Amino acid sequence: MVEVRERSWGAVHVVRPGIGVEVANGQDETFPGFVAGALEQVRGVPVGGDLVDAFAPDGDGAGFRCITDPGSGGGEGGAYHGVTLLFQQSVALRPRIGAAKPPAIETKAVGGRRDDGTRVFEAPWIPCVRLPGRPAEGSPVMLGEGREMHHDGVVNPDFAGKADFGLVVFHEMCHAYYDQAGAAGLMSGRAAEFEAAPGHRVADFQNYAEEILVCGLLQGKGLKYCENTYRRQKGLPPRPAYSAVGLKDDPDLAAFAWPSGGPDAPFKEWKAVLRELNFSTA
C-alpha cells in the first residue's frame, strides 16, 4: 500500500495503514522506498508484523493519536490524515560554531506541517522515527562514537555484528508504540524521584526506564514489543546492553526463558514493568 499525498512543500507517502513517510522538497526521494523495505523486514518476524499492524487507525491503533488540526495537515483530506506514526529523514546539524552533530536514529514527536511547509509545534503530536537515508555502498554515515550506518545495516558496539534495518526500525517503532500507548505520560515528571538498579550509572532515569521496555532487559524481559523478543523470534542473539543510558550487565539474560505469547506462556505487561520500576500506573 502506497498513497502519495503531494503538497507544495513535498509529500507524505502512506506506506502502510497509519504509517507515513514525510519527504520535503529537495530531500532524498528514495527514502519512502527505503522505509517500506525496512518495514517488510519487520513484518517478516511475527512480533514485527503485529507491531506494524498496531499502528493501523482501524486496528489496534484505533485509539492512537493522530494530527487532527486541519491547519497542521490533519483531518479529512490532510497530508497526515490517519497517520499514527511518521518517518522523517535525519540529517547532520551544522551549527555556526563548534563541531557538527551527526545525524541520529531516534524517535521524537511532531505536529505536522502547515500548507506553506512550516512545521507545527503544538499538540496533538504523533511519534516520528528519524533516520538517515540509506547510504551508498562504501560510504557509511557516522552516527556517533562506535556507531555507523552502512548500506546494509547499522553497526553498534552494544551488539555483535551488523543489525539489518528491520531490527533498527523495529526498535524505534517500540519507542513509538509505548509513546502512543501512554507509557511516556505515566513516566513524565516523576523520573527524578527514582534511582536505577545498583551498579548502573544513569543520568536520565526516564530514558533508562524506556530502554528497559524497548530493549527487553532487566524488568523488561518477556515483553512482546521489545527488541529481544524480536531477536528471539528471528533467531538472533539477545541484545545485552544499551550503554548510552547506562543499561548493561543483565545477569539473568542468558538463562531467561522467553515466553511464546500463548495462553501458557503469556507476554509480560508493560504496565507491570513500570510498577516494578516504581512508576505509578494510576
pLDDT per position in the chain (282 positions), as tens?
689 999 999 999 999 999 999 999 999 999 999 999 999 999 999 999 999 999 998 766 568 999 988 888 888 889 999 999 999 999 876 666 666 778 899 999 999 999 889 999 888 899 999 999 999 999 999 998 889 999 999 999 998 889 999 999 999 999 999 999 998 778 765 554 455 545 545 556 788 889 999 999 999 999 999 999 999 999 999 999 998 888 888 999 999 999 999 999 999 999 999 888 877 665
Question: Running DSSP on this structure, what letter comes out for residue 268?
Answer: B
Residue carrying the nine cell digits 507545527: 120
> Which pLDDT does position 93 carry in this prediction?
67
> Which pLDDT does position 10 carry in this prediction?
96
C-alpha cell at 175: 519507542
Question: Running DSSP on this structure, what letter comes out for residue 133?
Answer: P
Q: Is there a contact between 18 and 61 (Cβ–Cβ < 8 Å)?
A: yes
Integer angstrom CA distances of residue 24 from 2, 8, 123, 173, 275: 17, 9, 21, 22, 41
Question: Running DSSP on this structure, what letter comes out for residue 237?
Answer: P
C-alpha cell at 150: 552502512
> Which pLDDT does position 158 carry in this prediction?
92
> Which pLDDT does position 59 carry in this prediction?
60
DSSP E strands: which ranges in the chain?
A: 3-7, 10-16, 19-24, 85-89, 106-110, 126-131, 141-144, 147-150, 153-155, 162-163
Q: Is there a contact between 86 and 129 (Cβ–Cβ < 8 Å)?
A: yes
> Which pLDDT does position 192 carry in this prediction?
46
Q: Is there a contact between 153 and 165 (Cβ–Cβ < 8 Å)?
A: yes
